[in-house]
Amino acid sequence: MKYLIKLGSEVTIKSDAVRKNCIKLLKKNILNHLDFYQIDGILKWDWDRIVLEVPDQEDQAKIISIIKNISGIEYFSPIIDYELSEEIMSEDTKIFNEISRIAGEYFEAQIENKSFVVRIHRVWRHNFKSTDLERYVGWKLFENAKNTSVSLHNPDVSVQMDLRDNIICILTEKIKGTSWYPVGFQSNLLSLISGWFDSSVSSHSLIKRGCKIDYLFFNLWGDAHELGVKQMSYHLWSHFSIPYKRAKFISVPFDEVLWDIIKNIPSRFRAIVLKRCMLKVASQISMQYYCGVIKGDSVGQVSSQTLQNLKVVDEASEAMVLRPLVGMNKNDIMDIAREIGTYDAAAAMPEYCWVVSQRPETKAQLQDILDAEENLSKDILEKAHWNRLIQRVSDMLFSDDKTSSIPEIQQAWDEIIIDLREEERVKKSPLTQKWIEGSVWIPFYEINHTFAKLDQDKQYLLYCDKWVLSHLHGLYLKEKWFTNIKVLRP
């Protein structure tokens, strides 16, 4: 089976030298993607297109799904090609009749009772124009097909063909590609990935621009959260960025930083300080190895993403900060997440919005934030930075062991309820009277450090308004070999 691949529109307007470099990269990338899926392929290329040939026994749907994810391709099509003999090529009339015959064999049944248009792309030296050939083929199809009509602007069927010297190709289906530039066309960037919609879409948007992306994850909730983010990073790499074989996943332990922020920073500043702390560490890593940092912020989407707050957050970074989603709305971002296959995973990911009060600061002043940060423990960011773990994305293996769930129940009996909510939320919405007597209050930012001090002969139920938080802490404690925990989800 053969596929005709057209270069991305951005590539075709580049200078000759840049264009040649892009084509070289694209050829390499196509073969890398096929090799990853253990598919043999042969490439031939001209100035504005690449022809890929794969064994006929390969699944066409699989090949199409692979090519669609390769950046630098405007569109592609499975093709059927025919070689016109020297005798046919000797006269224009013979060429017209032979191409009309070929088109009729493939398209006549398709255009019955439908409207159609003929589009033929022609390259090489011929004694006729493309429009002359299109009119002739269209006339023959109209003459021979049953109950058909011609529509130049809104046809039911588009008869797509490509004539290059003495080779005529039928484009059986025109499929939109990713476009933009092949991976490797630009330098390395470090993407802050949380597993939520924004971070996966922002990473993908710059992979399309030809950037080589490494993933930086700040671990707030333990191995279970990290596993989900690793799986998302692997998905992005294995579908869109395979040619960058050295892609890395960097995990920074940040639970102690979060705990320090909760204890020492006023509630309205917490989200801003947390983002600044993350950006300080990201900047420190980026300045050594990367051209910049990618964040998934969108102006005004949440309170910490007002222009004033974004400006204050960026003051923490010496590295260039890129925000490819800055002008997009949430629905558009989620639609892209569906297209690239990260939606379901992102929907199951926790956000750290619970560290923010119900009335977060929307117009933070830098000096106020700097004053608040004076209360943080010294060297805590440096400790997190040096304890980071680095792993090749291609080497990541996933086991089901850490994804085992925590039992959930709707009613407490003899168990002790641990209320994980912050104090102000406990006061505003206390537990019902029947549960208060058998409960203790341990805020979520302390539970991982204090659970071992409790009586381990008793059974405990973790509770919070957002059951995802209690579930994550349950998984974290289970990883530490505690088995006397369940989640209360009334």
- Which residues are marked as active site? 464
CA 243, CA 183: separation in Å to the nearest integer? 7
| Two tokens, residue 111 | 């255009």
8 Å CB contact between 412 and 438? yes
Among 30, 6, 24, smallest CA distance to 243 is for 30
SS3 459: coil
CA dist., res. 325 & res. 294, Å (int): 10
CA–CA separation, 299 and 302 (whole Å): 8
Decide: 54 and 66 in contact? Cβ < 8 Å.
no
Closest among 274, 226, 275, 231 to 252, alpha carbons compared:
226
- Give Cα separations from 237 to 352, 409, 412 (angstroms): 25, 38, 44
Give CA torsion, residues 122, 123, 127, 131, to 10 deg: 20
Give the chain's length.
Answer: 490
User: Is the separation of the CB atoms in 41 and 130 below 8 Å?
Assistant: no
The residue with tokens 């990073």 is: 233
Q: Are 72 and 178 in contact (CB under 8 A)?
A: yes
**Residue 337 and residue 235 in contact, taking contact as beta carbons nearer than 8 Å:** no
Phi then psi for 303, rounded to 5 degrees? Answer: -65, -30
